[in-house]
Structure 1
Amino acid sequence: MSAALDPVIHPAHRLRICALLAAGTTLELSVVKEHLDLSPSALSKQVAALVEAGYVGQSRHGGDSRRVWLSLTRRGQRAYRDHVAALQEIVAASAVDVPAEPR
C-alpha cells in the first residue's frame, strides 16, 4: 500500500467534516453542525483540530460576527484526497486478497 491514512482526518467526525467541505466550497458552521448532529462543544473540538493542522480555514463574513464559515484549505484538500485514496486502496486490497467462501 502506497498511500497512508492521515491521523488528523481519520476520526469519523473529522472525516465527515472534510467530506462536507470538499463537496461545497464554503459552509456555515451551523450547516456542518446540523449535518453531523454534534453538540456545539464536540463540533468545536473537531473543527479546532482541523484548523490547527492547517486543513480548514475559518472566517466571518459581513456584519454578523456570530456566523462562522468553514472551508478546506489547499493543504486540507490535498490531505483529504490522499486520505480517501488510502481508504480506497484498503478496500480494493481487501476485495482482491480475501478468497470467496465456497458454497
Structure 2
Amino acid sequence: MTHPRNRIDDMIHSPVRLSVMSALRAADQVHFALLRDTLEVSDSLLSKHIATLEAVGYVEVTKGYAGKRPRTWFSLTSRGKQAFDTYLATLREIVEETTPSP
C-alpha cells in the first residue's frame, strides 16, 4: 500500500494554483481582475499559472467584452472539478491517516 501523498496532483499542489482552483471551484466564472485581486498576485504570475492549468485541461479561458472593454473569464472544466475534488479527498486522507487517535 502506498502513502496517499503519492497521489497528490502536482498541477494543483503549488500554492498559487491551489488558490486558483479553490476560487474557481466556488464560482461558475471569475474574471481576470477579480481573481488576480482576490489572490493578491501579479498579472504575469496569474497568467503563468492559468496557462499551466489550461494546458492540462483543468481551466477554461473565455475572452469577450463587458461593454466595450475586453475581459477574460476563467472557469473550471469538469476535469478540473474532478481533479480538485480528488485532490481535497487525498489531503483529507493524509490528515486522517496521520492524525494520532486519543
Q: TM-score, normalised by structure 1?
A: 0.86
Q: 1:71 corresponds to which residue?
A: 75
* Aligned equivalents of 2:68, 2:93: Cα separation in 1: 43
Partner of 1:8, secondary structure, is helix
> Counterpart of 1:23 in structure 2: which amino acid?
A
CA shift, 1:94, in A, is 1.6
Q: Percent identity?
A: 33
**CA offset at residue 76 of structure 1?**
0.3
Q: Specify which structure has the higher proportion of helix.
A: 2
In the alignment, the residues of structure 2 paired with residue 2 and residue 13 of structure 1 have an alpha-carbon distance, to the nearest angstrom, of: 22
Cα distance 1:49–1:65, how it changes in 2: closer, same or farther (>3 A)? farther
How far is 1:29 from its partner? 1.1
Partner of 2:12: 9
Q: Runs of 5+ in structure 2 lacking a partner?
A: none
Q: Which amino acid aligns with 1:80?
A: F
Structure 1 gaps of 5+ residues are none
Residue by residue over 1:59-85, the C-alpha shift from the partner in whole angstroms, topping out at 9 and shown as x without a partner, is 023464631000000000000000111
| Greater CA drift, 32-41 or 59-68 | 59-68
